[in-house]
């Protein structure tokens, strides 16, 4: 008997849709209430691969709504991703599981194999903002699910083809300031909001062109009401309309101004060699001078020196902010070299 018989009989899915599900890789960020529910449902639906990212261990207050965990996990202080993987493996051994008991960072996402979709199951706007910046910068889609009190919101963000999270929430910074407030969540709200997120995820994997990228659904489980709101792309959005600046710099790389000059200095982590940078410049048809110690060229029309130690000097910038935008642009230009190196090491 075909394991997915009941799902294949749904005409919107059918054998080809099921095949598509089985070939898909979904990344779930956050294995709290919505994340553990999403992981279980996608595993039962026969997803090809799941990557689970969460640095937390299971605690007693999780059990009220996080369905993959139990009191044994609390007693063992198990990492959520490990406890989840153990249970998911028993539900469907065909699913490939990648687990990261770590905090979500750009460096971590770079280690994840090619994926089709990300599910935002975080409980805070700081991580959500970072995910959105990465989605804008790298051009992938993600589906947000957020629950608070008796209301939950679900939306597909595909910044290539529609608004981003910051377009939908212009007050993103103010929301981040409230991340530490502990919000109540109604137990019954979670599976309802989660079901909306997973419905949208399956539809996106099978028929992405049929999914609205400008529609937020808000469900209230006390009113039993479902409302839809149209979200417009903001032409002045500080995130998706300024792509080179969308990503934050790693904390170790901060620009310093050289006293009394308009020159800024910064040092790269995992610096590529002069020859690697020279090759990238040649490919981009950017003229440069090279000696044994450094490369000299223009970046954003101003002089830029790249030293073999990974030092960068940016000249003639009126302030730190503009120098930083220039450096971010360069940083994302050479980043593929760094990632390639990390993989081949």
**Which residues in this chain contact Zn ion in the complex, by CB under 5 A?**
164, 166-167, 237, 239-240
Q: How far is the CB of 239 from Zn ion (least distance, A)?
A: 5
Query: What is the chain's length?
Result: 345
HSE (CB half, 13 Å, CA atoms) of 193? 34
Q: How far is the CB of 132 from Zn ion (least distance, A)?
A: 8
HSE (CB half, 13 Å, CA atoms) of 282? 8
Q: How far is the CB of 163 from Zn ion (least distance, A)?
A: 6
Q: How far is the CB of 328 from Zn ion (least distance, A)?
A: 17
Q: How far is the CB of 242 from Zn ion (least distance, A)?
A: 9
Residues 29 and 100: their CA atoms lie apart, in Å, by 10
DSSP letter at 231 equals -
Q: Which is nearer to Zn ion, 43 or 213 (CB)?
A: 213
326 within 8 A of 312, measured Cβ to Cβ:
no
Site of tokens 């749904």: 10
Q: How far is the CB of 54 from Zn ion (least distance, A)?
A: 26
Q: How far is the CB of 247 from Zn ion (least distance, A)?
A: 14
Q: Which is nearer to Zn ion, 164 or 202 (CB)?
A: 164
Q: Which is nearer to Zn ion, 48 or 163 (CB)?
A: 163
Bridge partner residues of 52 (DSSP): 28, 99
DSSP letter at 319 equals S
Q: Which residue is nearest to Zn ion (CB)?
A: 237
**Where do the DSSP E strands lie in 30-90?**
49-53
HSE (CB half, 13 Å, CA atoms) of 183? 16
Residues 229 and 233: their CA atoms lie apart, in Å, by 13
Q: Which is nearer to Zn ion, 68 or 164 (CB)?
A: 164
Q: Which is nearer to Zn ion, 57 or 166 (CB)?
A: 166
* Beta-carbon count within 10 A of 60 CB: 10
198 within 8 A of 190, measured Cβ to Cβ:
no
Q: Which is nearer to Zn ion, 43 or 239 (CB)?
A: 239
HSE (CB half, 13 Å, CA atoms) of 15? 1
Q: Which is nearer to Zn ion, 57 or 239 (CB)?
A: 239
């Amino acid at each position: 008997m075909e394991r997915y018989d009941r799902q294949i009989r749904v005409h919107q899915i059918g054998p080809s849709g099921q095949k598509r599900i089985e070939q898909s890789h979904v990344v779930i960020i956050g294995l709290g209430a919505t994340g553990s529910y999403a992981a279980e449902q996608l595993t039962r639906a026969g997803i090809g691969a799941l990557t689970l990212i969460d640095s937390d261990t299971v605690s007693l207050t999780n059990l009220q709504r996080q369905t993959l965990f139990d009191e044994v996990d609390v007693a063992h202080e198990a990492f959520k991703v490990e406890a989840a993987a153990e249970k998911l493996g028993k539900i469907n051994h065909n699913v490939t599981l990648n687990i990261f008991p770590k905090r979500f960072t750009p460096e971590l996402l770079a280690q994840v194999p090619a994926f089709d979709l990300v599910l935002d199951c975080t409980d805070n706007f700081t991580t959500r903002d970072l995910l959105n910046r990465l989605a804008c910068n790298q051009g992938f889609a993600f589906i947000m699910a957020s629950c608070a009190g008796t209301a939950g919101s679900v939306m597909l963000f595909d910044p290539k083809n529609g608004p981003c999270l910051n377009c939908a929430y212009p007050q993103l910074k103010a929301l981040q300031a409230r991340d530490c407030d502990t919000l109540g969540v109604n137990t019954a709200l979670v599976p309802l909001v989660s079901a909306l997120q997973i419905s949208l995820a399956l539809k996106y994997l099978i028929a992405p062109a049929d999914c609205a990228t400008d529609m937020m659904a808000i469900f209230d489980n006390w009113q039993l009401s479902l409302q839809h709101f149209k979200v417009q792309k903001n032409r002045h959005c500080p995130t998706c309309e300024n792509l080179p600046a969308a990503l934050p710099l790693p904390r170790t790389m901060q620009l310093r101004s050289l006293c009394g000059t308009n020159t800024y200095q910064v040092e790269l982590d995992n610096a590529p060699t002069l020859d690697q940078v020279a090759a990238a410049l040649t490919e981009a048809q950017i003229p440069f001078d090279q000696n044994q110690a450094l490369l000299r060229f223009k970046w954003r029309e101003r002089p830029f020196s790249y030293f073999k130690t990974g030092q960068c000097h940016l000249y003639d910038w009126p302030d730190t902010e503009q120098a930083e935008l220039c450096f971010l642009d360069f940083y994302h230009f050479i980043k593929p070299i760094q990632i390639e190196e990390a993989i081949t090491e």
